Amino acid sequence: MSDFDEQTRTLTAKVVYYGPALSGKTTNLLALHDRLQGRTAGELLVLDTKNDRTLFFDLLPLRFRAEGGLTVRLKVFTVPGQVAHDATRKAVLSRADAVAFVADSQLSQSTNNFESFRNLEENAGRVGLAFDRLPLVVQYNKRDLPDVVPEAEVRQRWGAAGVPVVFSSALRGAGVAETFQELLRGLHGALEAEMGLASRWGVPAASFVAGVFSGAAP
């Protein structure tokens, strides 16, 4: 869970990108790093990949100063999507403050998406996260490929749940920033309820969301 140091006015939070294998989780982090490098992004750590598949996890550290003088440190992780690495997924998901679920838009991957999302929900319970209160964004990636699930069908499926949905092509950089901005909005709402991020510490949602893209590392 998030950690706040009142003395230094530093907030540390953890964000996790979850989803089936090869859905584009690492590609999202690569695109974010390319966009933010030299400003708020630290060095991207990609551990032990084989055949373009993450076997352990990726980590992208972000750091920026928000309105009110608050320093925000975000640790952005991906999990391995392969079924065999469930223990690693649980370990990475532990203490997460917000989650982006990256689905593969191809019709042929619908079952894998379903199984992976069910795994997310189950693992959240196993590591002590209240899934119904966890800030969540669903990204339907690979929209540039043929034979994808129609947008109307996706919106109908997720609309009743009230979960933000973003359509993307992470390989081309499309929808990557929008996904992360939705994550930050959800995270800000959760932190407002927990610690009064806006009402007590003077950090409105707009500043929190924009800071990572427009600010400079403190």
- The overall pTM is greater than 0.95: no
Of 207 and 214, which is predicted with more confidence? 207
Span 74-124, pLDDT tens digits = 999 999 877 667 888 999 999 999 999 999 999 999 999 999 999 999 999
Average pLDDT over residues 12-19: 96
- How much is the pLDDT for 85? 78
pLDDT at position 216 is: 52
Distances 190 to 3, 45, 149, 198, 205 between C-alpha atoms, Å: 13, 27, 31, 11, 11
- Please give the Cα distance from 108 to 128 (Å, whole number): 32
Beta pairing, strands 136-141 & 49-50:
unpaired
pLDDT band at 65 (very low <50, low <70, confident <90, very high): confident
Cα–Cα dist 170/139, whole Å: 10
The reported pLDDT for the residue numbered 57 is 62
The pLDDT value given to residue 140 = 98
3-state SS, residue 128 = coil
Continuous H helices in the chain: 25-36, 86-93, 110-126, 151-159, 176-195, 205-214
Nearest Cα to Cα of residue 174 among 121, 84, 105, 99: 105
> Would you say residue 7 has pLDDT above 70?
yes
Inter-residue contact 165 to 140 (CB < 8 Å): yes
Handedness of CA 143, 110, 77, 208 (dihedral sign): positive
pLDDT at position 217 is 54
* Cα(59)–Cα(104) distance, integer angstroms: 21
Angle, CA 33 vertex, CA 120 and CA 4 arms, to 5°: 65
